[in-house]
């Protein structure tokens, strides 16, 4: 079995979000996949194998399987093309716990992911979440996966130092903190914290942008937006709404290739 490490939502090594991609010929034992994800110790390890008209794709953090992951899907599509599993003009089709997800390359050679839109509904946050974040929110909301917290400025966003132990007690996968960007190159910026899922701060989170894209599209009155996730590694996305879907575009680069010997 080949294993790749891909930096997603970037075109430079050591930036974006690293994901392990494991290419399987057939389904694998769930416990073994979880152990391998723990061994890789990245925010996500993706496993895919041929299935129906595409591939069955699953994602694991070091501690659990998740329902949706953007950067590991982008990394998996990147490997399908780079390693010649599918032709350059062919779309990648992934059957997942979140339904059928597709990826294609656009004219600029950015990989476009077709994901479900998951807009947040206004909601109060548990007191412990705001205490753990130490922020003054402009808006608070929630979708089926995460809390979303808008704050007043990018400078405030960069100063956030969460209490991860308290944040891990929140009854959701994670917390998205976002603001408008101070940089004219981007419409909004964000950070994502998911200690309950084994990832204190995720470098770049595609699935969080399933909430951020419709939220900021509605707030800014524009369909196409440029986004920056302001983690220590940083990552760039071009996003747009498409009905009840979102299109998340990014780049990827392979940094390692290995072979499973166990």
Please determine, for residue 171, whether its predicted confidence score (pLDDT) is greater than 90: no
**Chain segment 71-91, per-residue pLDDT in tens:** 999 999 999 999 999 998 999
Q: Per-residue pLDDT tens for 126-151? A: 888 999 999 999 999 999 999 999 99
Is 215 within 8 Å of 194 (Cβ atoms)? no
Q: What is the pLDDT of residue 262?
A: 75
CB neighbourhood size of 205 (10 A):
31
**Quick check: 153 pLDDT over 90?**
yes
**Mean pLDDT, to the nearest integer, of 111-128?**
94
Q: Find the mean pLDDT for residues 177-197.
A: 96
Domain annotation for the chain: domains and CATH numbers: 2-115+248-259 (3.10.310.10), 121-242 (3.10.310.10)
User: Annotated catalytic residue: which of 44, 112, 150, 154?
Assistant: 44
- The pLDDT, as a whole number, for residue 134 is 94
Q: What is the mean pLDDT of residues 31-35?
A: 97
Section 208-221 average pLDDT: 98
Percentage of the chain beyond pLDDT 90 is 94
Q: Give the predicted TM-score (pTM) of the model.
A: 0.93
Q: Per-residue pLDDT for 27 more than 90? A: yes
The 8-class DSSP code of residue 124 comes to: P
The average pLDDT across 152-157 equals: 97
H or E element in which residue 32 lies: helix 30-40
Mean pLDDT of 17-40: 97
With CA atoms as reference, report the closest residue to 69 among 42, 50, 51: 42
For the stretch 238-246, contacts whose Cβ atoms lie closer than 8 Å and that sit 24 or more positions apart, written own/partner, are 238/110, 239/209, 239/212, 239/213, 240/213, 241/117, 241/213, 241/214, 241/217, 242/114, 243/117, 244/116, 244/117, 245/114, 245/115, 245/116, 245/117, 246/115, 246/116, 246/117, 246/209, 246/210, 246/213, 246/214
Q: How confident is the model over 202-207, as a mean pLDDT? A: 95
pLDDT at 232 over 90: yes
Identify whether the C-beta of residue 163 lies closer than 8 Å to the C-beta of residue 128.
no
Average pLDDT, the chain: 96
Q: In this predicted structure, what is the pLDDT of residue 127?
A: 80
Per the annotation, the verdict on 44 as an active-site residue is yes
User: Given this model, what pLDDT does residue 141 score?
Assistant: 97
pLDDT value of position 47: 98
N- to C-terminal Cα separation, the chain: 10
In angstroms, how far is CA 173 from the centroid of its own chain? 12
């Amino acid at each position: 079995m080949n294993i790749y490490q891909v930096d997603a939502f970037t075109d430079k090594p050591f930036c974006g979000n690293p994901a392990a991609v494991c290419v399987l010929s057939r389904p694998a034992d769930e416990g073994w996949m979880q152990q391998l994800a723990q061994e890789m110790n990245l925010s996500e390890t993706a496993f895919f194998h041929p299935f129906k008209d595409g591939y069955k794709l699953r994602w694991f953090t070091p501690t659990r399987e998740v329902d949706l992951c953007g950067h590991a899907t982008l990394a998996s599509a990147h490997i399908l093309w780079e390693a010649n599993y599918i032709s350059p003009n062919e779309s990648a089709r992934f059957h997942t716990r979140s339904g059928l997800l597709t990826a294609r390359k656009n004219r600029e050679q950015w990989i476009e992911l077709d994901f479900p839109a998951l807009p947040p509904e206004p909601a109060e946050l548990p007191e412990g979440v705001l205490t753990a974040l130490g922020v003054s929110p402009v808006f608070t909301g929630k979708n089926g996966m995460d809390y979303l917290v808008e704050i007043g400025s990018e400078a405030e966003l960069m100063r956030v130092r969460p209490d991860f132990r308290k944040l891990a007690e929140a009854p959701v996968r994670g917390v998205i903190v976002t603001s408008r960007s101070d940089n004219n190159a981007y419409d909004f910026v964000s950070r994502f914290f998911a200690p309950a899922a084994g990832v204190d701060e995720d470098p770049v989170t595609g699935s969080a942008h399933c909430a951020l894209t419709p939220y900021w599209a509605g707030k800014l009155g524009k369909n196409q937006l440029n986004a920056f996730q302001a983690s220590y590694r940083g990552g760039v996305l071009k996003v747009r709404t498409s009905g009840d879907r979102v299109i998340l575009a990014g780049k990827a680069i392979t940094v390692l290739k290995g072979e499973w010997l166990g």
